[in-house]
Amino acid sequence: MIFFEDLLRENDFTGAVNSIAADFRKKHDFPEIHQLGLVVPDVIEAAKKYEAKGIGPFFIAEGAPMLWKERGKKKTVSGKMGLAHFKGFEIELLEPLEGSDFYTKSLGPDGKTVLQHLGFIVKDVDARAEALEASDLPVYVRGILKSGPMNTDFAYMEPIAPEEIILEFISWRFLGLRFTPPAAIIRTLGRIEKWTGKRSISM
């Protein structure tokens, strides 16, 4: 397991993150790392902890994806997530889901936060996933999130050795057009949640 706390202690945080699965990513022509996916027991409590360390503020939301297909089987799941930005990376906090143990299996010991996945922005999630499947790395989860005019396609691949890290392909669309939510919008939404005292919204 890779622990977020260990990465934060590195003198060169960015370099430490970029070294994760670097050979594999180079071999398969991955784009730059966009997101660090962290599994925590409680998103709101974790957000408070990391905001006290200068990370955030976090925008927190909860709900159910439109599609969650895990190792070929559709499941009904729901959960909570938090988003913030830190040193050029999107930080995603994830609680264990209702309906799947996909995140539960990555809960860390002694309250440590596990880096479960690295996320990458791509034009076509299925095309990138199929290319890795052809290299014997199957899709673990294929999913779609929908909130109003915004859709998020994502695919988690099976973990790779030796880090046992999961690689995720992500593609956002707003009114059918590809886009990446700017860090400033995430920060503003997080500040509004903190100001109103409502730390999670339903989506």
Q: Decide: residue 186, CB within 10 A, 0-12 exposed, 13-18 middle, 19+ buried.
A: buried
Please give the average per-residue pLDDT across 140-161, as a whole number: 94
- Residue position matching structure tokens 């060169």: 12
Please give the average per-residue pLDDT across 49-59, as a whole number: 96
pLDDT 10s digits, 94-116: 999 999 999 999 999 888 999 99
Distance CA 134, CA 142 (A): 16
pLDDT at 176 over 90: no
pLDDT band at 169 (very low <50, low <70, confident <90, very high): very high
Distance CA 200, CA 203 (A): 10
**What does pLDDT average to over the chain?**
95
Distance CA 131, CA 30 (A): 11
The Cβ-side half-sphere exposure at 163, using a 13 Å CA radius, reads 20
pLDDT at 126 over 90: yes
pLDDT at 75 over 90: yes
Please name each of the domains of the chain with its CATH number.
Answer: 4-202 (3.10.180.10)
> Which letter does DSSP use for residue 58 in this model?
P
Query: CB under 8 Å, gap of 24 or more: what pairs does 155-161 form?
Result: 155/125, 155/126, 155/128, 155/129, 156/102, 156/117, 157/129, 157/132, 160/21, 160/24
Distance CA 125, CA 143 (A): 10
pLDDT 10s digits, 15-36: 999 999 999 999 999 999 999 9
Residues 6+ apart with CB under 8 A from 191: 57
> Which letter does DSSP use for residue 41 in this model?
S
pLDDT at 162 over 90: no
